[in-house]
């Protein structure tokens, strides 16, 4: 037969005339079946090219290839602004969206489907034990009986459900959640020296400043007045002015716990029953956050956090219960199944399930997630962790000929874990797939088969193709900004001197033993820039966030959750306040933006309302809000986009057909400020807006700070749900920098360089050092060696993650740590050129 040339797989992917967002007619040829890294300064157009052009067009063509019947359920997708793309294949996007399921029952085990397989193993090979004495149950007729005489009438384990999502499997006390939300008395009365009239009961002083909570706060205060009246009537007024601790115990208990307090012809609830009732009534409307501040998750007393009924929790395989197994790190679970001891019959029955479990666990370990436990709630995963879980699931598919588009898969990874991830990506490539990775990490860039660099700047200053070729050529290309940093010709300068710790000026965490921490004592020197390092899962977040921050916040009168177990913390009197800047979103809806979060949107709306056209039309500042009816487009409720459920594919967001994505009514867009409509202003980058609003200090001040933390490229009206965790964190940091700092502020940051190019990291580090120079302390959890090498002090945890971590490897200057042992020392020596 003649050779069919048309059946050959294309050797390259061709893009011509890409103009999405800031792209400037980009032409690009990409080799198939290679590991390709897209790099460049933040905001240069990498994601616009990789995700919004290449992947978007692949997704659109996938929809077009579906049957007419399937397409009737899917809205037609717009073609990206590109002349043509050839050589495109089916594509999979693996970005940093956190788990799509917000269910509190969703765990690492369920989203990876490992738990489904574990349930099979326990249903087939499990041995029932007594729920009373933990003795093995043996069959006695229709019953299972232990040596102590206790019995149960459910001998068929295979018919039992080990699912905490089903009523006949889940613990009835917590409905499979493992925890219950309980009102905490110590949070209700934080200061027993206060009187009722001075706000001794904290819920009576619920904040009213936040727009979303104002209505609830008014209800709180209205009810509080009635409660105060009740207390007044009970004690003839004396209780109003007396400190809480001096009130009769009977009165205090009645105010807090009573199911009924008669007041005239009506009956009131005690504070705690009232909080529970109001929280349940308002949480689905988003208003329960005010009251949730006085509640904490506690382990369910019925299942101890195991989520299942006692009978299921008592079933064991090789002496281990299912709750105990799922609380182990992935690496330990893999060892358990690797050394599993069961009978020959059981081994044959469960062999296929065990093999599949081990394959999936191995894939999770390969992408640096060996420290996660299977019972870890999915909603607590970072964007990087959620992305790597999705990436691990791709290895089990064993498909070839796909195009994978990844967004910074190294986010949150130690260099040692990054090398393991690179090896995994190469295996995926070797299966016949093409990988496009948007990345700043130097190790990933050096490992690439092909590199594409966008630039030269961010936003309107970017969108150009600076380089496309092999890594060796990148390092010598004079146009490349990245090449100099990767080669070492350019770099972040190591300070000539480091701030030495001062004797007695430190915060000491004693006997920290939360999660995998092994009872360590750790000193954080005050007035220094401190980097907490270690491989993924070494215990860094447990030490800094769950222990230090929670304890410090509570000591300063805050309502942080209960700290992780520890023996105490000394030196907190040396700080005036503590600020925690994490990577949680600044908002989950499209209505939350950098402009609204930082408060500059209020000033912008006032500026528009002050124009001559607005005064003539009677426009007030509210006319220019997209969060309330009036001037916004009601077809999309001010979102500018409409969510389309794709059924077979991830949901997509399309511009509103009425306002065309502008968020506002046509009438509102007839008002101009300096020649721009409110919609055009919201489309400006922070850099552009800073120039546009010169002369408006209420606007330019916050914008200047956003630029200092490397965010000049993002749009001021960019929806919060499109921002990465690193971008959200830096927006929060910029807001804190706008405030007047106290005498001594302790700043706690979690991976602040996520999503930043080396040139942007340089700018951010200057901001952090400026804070320390002003007399504050900065503590950052980081894997970035550029951050570690410029720190005054390093705290290194390890040596590995999970059960093999949690120990203090060393403390000292970067040079002292580099001279020691461990993974951080190994890579730090390279970075310091020692």
For residue 681, give both structure tokens: 């202003």
188 and 274 both lie in a single domain: yes
Q: What is the CATH number of the domain that holds 125?
A: 1.20.1580.10
**Res 334: pLDDT:** 96
For residue 711, give both structure tokens: 């965010």
pLDDT grade, residue 500 (50/70/90)?
A: very high
Q: How does strand 577-581 pair with strand 641-644?
A: unpaired
How much is the mean pLDDT over the chain?
85
633 and 706 both lie in a single domain: yes
3 has pLDDT over 80: no
Q: How does strand 91-94 pair with strand 403-407?
A: parallel
How far is the CA of 669 from the CAs of 629, 674, 680, 686, in angstroms? 15, 13, 9, 21
Whether residue 478 lies inside any domain: the answer is no
DSSP secondary structure string for all residues of 340-381: ----HHHHHHHHHHHHHHHHHHHHHHHTT-TT-BTTSBGGGS
How far is residue 252 CA from its own chain's centroid? 40
Residue 207 has φ and ψ, to the nearest 5°, of -65, 140
Structure confidence by residue, pLDDT tens digits, 315-364? 999 999 999 999 999 999 999 999 999 999 999 999 999 999 999 999 99
791 has pLDDT over 50: yes
Distance CA 60, CA 65 (A): 9
Domain boundary among 335, 366, 397: 366
Whether residue 328 lies inside any domain: the answer is yes
Q: Which of 502, 514, 505 lies closest to 549 in space, CA to CA?
A: 514
172 and 315 both lie in a single domain: yes
Q: What is the mean pLDDT of residues 494-510?
A: 92
674 and 617 both lie in a single domain: yes
Encode 378-415: b = buried (16+ Cβ within 10 Å), e = exposed.
beebbbbbbbbbbbbbbbeeeeeebbbbbbbbbbbbbb
**Res 574: pLDDT:** 92
Whether residue 375 lies inside any domain: the answer is no
Q: Which residues on neighbouring strands pair with residue 72, listed in sequence order?
A: none
Distance CA 338, CA 330 (A): 12
Structure confidence by residue, pLDDT tens digits, 96-145? 765 445 577 889 999 999 999 999 999 999 988 888 888 888 877 667 78
DSSP 456: S
**Res 213: pLDDT:** 41
14 has pLDDT over 90: yes
Whether residue 103 lies inside any domain: the answer is no
274 and 214 both lie in a single domain: yes
What whole-number percentage of the chain has pLDDT above 70?
87
For 294, the domain range is: 180-298
Angle, CA 425 vertex, CA 420 and CA 427 arms, to 5°:
95
**Res 154: pLDDT:** 54
212 has pLDDT over 60: no
515 has pLDDT over 60: yes
Domain boundary among 675, 694, 722: 722
305 and 171 both lie in a single domain: yes
Whether residue 561 lies inside any domain: the answer is yes
Phi-psi region of 833 (alpha: psi -120 to 50; beta: other; left: phi over 0): left
Please state the domain count of the chain.
Answer: 5
**Res 336: pLDDT:** 96
Alpha helices by DSSP H, 52-210: 56-64, 68-71, 108-111, 114-125, 185-188
Domain boundary among 437, 452, 467: 452
88 and 174 both lie in a single domain: no
Whether the Cβ atoms of residue 559 and residue 187 lie closer than 8 Å to each other: yes
pLDDT grade, residue 228 (50/70/90)?
A: low
600 and 715 both lie in a single domain: yes
DSSP 143: E
Q: What is the CATH number of the domain that holds 272?
A: 1.10.8.280
190 and 293 both lie in a single domain: yes
**Res 808: pLDDT:** 97
**Res 650: pLDDT:** 55
Q: What is the CATH number of the domain that holds 83?
A: 3.40.50.300
For residue 156, give both structure tokens: 């068929």
**Res 28: pLDDT:** 97
Q: What is the mean pLDDT of residues 624-632?
A: 89
What whole-number percentage of the chain has pLDDT above 90?
48
Whether residue 510 lies inside any domain: the answer is yes
64 and 83 both lie in a single domain: yes
Whether residue 499 lies inside any domain: the answer is no
Structure confidence by residue, pLDDT tens digits, 277-287? 777 665 544 44
580 and 600 both lie in a single domain: no
> Residue 441 class from Cβ within 10 Å (0-12 exposed, 13-18 middle, 19+ buried)?
buried
**Res 374: pLDDT:** 95
Whether residue 419 lies inside any domain: the answer is yes
Whether the Cβ atoms of residue 17 and residue 83 lie closer than 8 Å to each other: yes
For residue 638, give both structure tokens: 């001010």
48 and 193 both lie in a single domain: no
């Amino acid at each position: 037969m003649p050779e069919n040339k048309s059946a050959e797989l294309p050797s390259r992917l061709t893009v011509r005339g890409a103009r999405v967002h800031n792209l400037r007619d980009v032409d690009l040829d990409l080799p198939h079946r290679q590991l390709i890294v897209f790099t460049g300064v933040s905001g240069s157009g990498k994601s616009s090219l990789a995700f919004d052009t290449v992947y978007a067009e692949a997704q659109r063509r996938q929809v077009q290839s579906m049957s007419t019947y399937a397409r009737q359920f899917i809205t037609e997708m717009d073609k990206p602004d590109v002349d043509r793309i050839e050589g495109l294949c089916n594509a999979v996007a693996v970005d940093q969206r956190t788990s799509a399921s917000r269910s509190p029952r969703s765990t690492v085990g369920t989203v990876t489907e490992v738990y489904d397989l574990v349930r099979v193993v326990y249903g087939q090979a499990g041995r029932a034990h007594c729920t009373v004495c933990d003795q093995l149950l043996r069959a006695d007729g229709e019953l299972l009986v232990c040596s102590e005489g206790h019995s149960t009438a459910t001998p068929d384990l295979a018919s039992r459900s080990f699912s905490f999502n089903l009523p006949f499997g889940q613990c009835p006390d917590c409905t499979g959640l493992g925890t219950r939300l309980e009102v905490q008395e110590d949070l209700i009365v934080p200061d027993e020296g206060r009187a009722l009239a001075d706000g001794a009961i904290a819920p009576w002083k619920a904040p009213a400043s936040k727009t979303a909570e104002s209505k609830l706060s008014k209800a709180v205060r209205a009810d509080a007045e009635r409660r105060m009246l009740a207390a007044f009537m009970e004690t003839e007024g004396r209780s109003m002015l007396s400190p809480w601790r001096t009130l009769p115990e009977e009165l205090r208990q009645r105010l807090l716990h009573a199911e009924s307090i008669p007041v005239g012809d009506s009956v009131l609830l005690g504070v705690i029953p009232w909080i529970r009732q109001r929280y349940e009534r308002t949480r689905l409307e988003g208003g329960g956050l005010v009251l949730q501040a006085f509640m904490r998750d506690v382990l369910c007393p019925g299942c101890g956090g195991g989520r299942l009924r006692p009978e299921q929790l008592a079933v064991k395989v090789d002496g281990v219960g299912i709750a105990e197994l799922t609380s182990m790190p992935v690496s330990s679970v893999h060892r358990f199944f690797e050394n599993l001891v069961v009978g020959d019959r059981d081994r044959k029955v469960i062999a296929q399930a065990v093999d599949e479990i081990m394959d999936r666990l191995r894939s999770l370990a390969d992408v640096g997630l060996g420290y996660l436990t299977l019972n870890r709630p999915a909603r607590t995963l970072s964007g990087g962790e959620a992305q790597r879980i999705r990436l691990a699931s791709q290895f089990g598919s064993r498909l070839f000929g796909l195009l994978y588009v990844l967004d910074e898969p190294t986010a949150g990874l130690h260099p040692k874990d990054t090398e393991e991830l690179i090896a995994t990506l190469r295996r995926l490539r070797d299966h016949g797939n093409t990988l496009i990775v948007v990345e700043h990490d130097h190790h990933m860039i050096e490992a690439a088969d092909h590199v594409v660099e966008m630039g030269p700047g961010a936003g309107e200053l970017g969108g150009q193709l600076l380089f496309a070729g092999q890594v060796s050529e990148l390092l010598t290309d004079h146009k490349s900004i990245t090449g100099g940093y990767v080669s070492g010709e350019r770099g972040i300068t190591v300070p000539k001197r480091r701030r030495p710790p001062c004797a007695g000026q430190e915060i000491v965490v004693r006997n920290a033993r939360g999660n995998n921490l092994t009872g360590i004592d750790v000193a954080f020197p005050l007035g220094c820039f401190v980097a907490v390092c270690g491989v993924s899962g070494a215990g860094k977040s447990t030490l800094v966030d769950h222990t230090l921050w929670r304890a410090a916040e509570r000591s300063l009168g805050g309502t942080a959750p209960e700290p992780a177990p520890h023996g105490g913390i000394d030196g907190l009197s040396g700080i005036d306040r503590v600020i925690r800047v994490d990577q949680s979103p600044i908002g989950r809806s499209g209505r939350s933006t950098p402009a609204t979060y930082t408060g500059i949107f209020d000033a912008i709306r006032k500026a528009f309302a002050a124009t001559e056209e607005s005064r003539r039309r009677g426009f007030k500042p509210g006319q220019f809000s997209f969060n309330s009816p009036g001037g916004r487009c009601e077809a999309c409720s001010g979102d500018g986009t409409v969510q389309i459920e794709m059924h077979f594919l991830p949901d997509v967001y399309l511009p509103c057909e009425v306002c065309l994505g502008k968020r506002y009514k046509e009438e509102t867009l007839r008002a101009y400020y300096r020649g721009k409509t409110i919609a055009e202003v919201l489309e400006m980058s922070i850099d552009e807006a800073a120039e546009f609003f010169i002369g408006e200090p209420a606007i330019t001040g916050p914008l200047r700070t956003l630029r200092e933390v490397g965010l000049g490229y993002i749009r001021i009206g960019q929806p919060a749900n499109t921002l990465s965790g690193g971008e959200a964190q830096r927006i929060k940091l910029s807001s804190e920098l706008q405030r007047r700092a106290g005498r001594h502020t302790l700043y706690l940051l979690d991976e602040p360089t996520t999503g930043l190019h080396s040139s942007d990291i340089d700018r951010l580090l200057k901001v952090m050092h400026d804070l320390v120079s002003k007399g504050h302390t900065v503590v950052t959890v980081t894997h970035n060696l550029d951050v570690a090498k410029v720190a005054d002090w390093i705290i290194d945890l390890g040596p590995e993650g999970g059960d093999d971590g949690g120990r203090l490897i060393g403390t000292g200057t970067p040079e002292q740590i580099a001279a020691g042992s461990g993974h951080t020392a190994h890579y730090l020596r390279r970075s310091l050129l020692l």
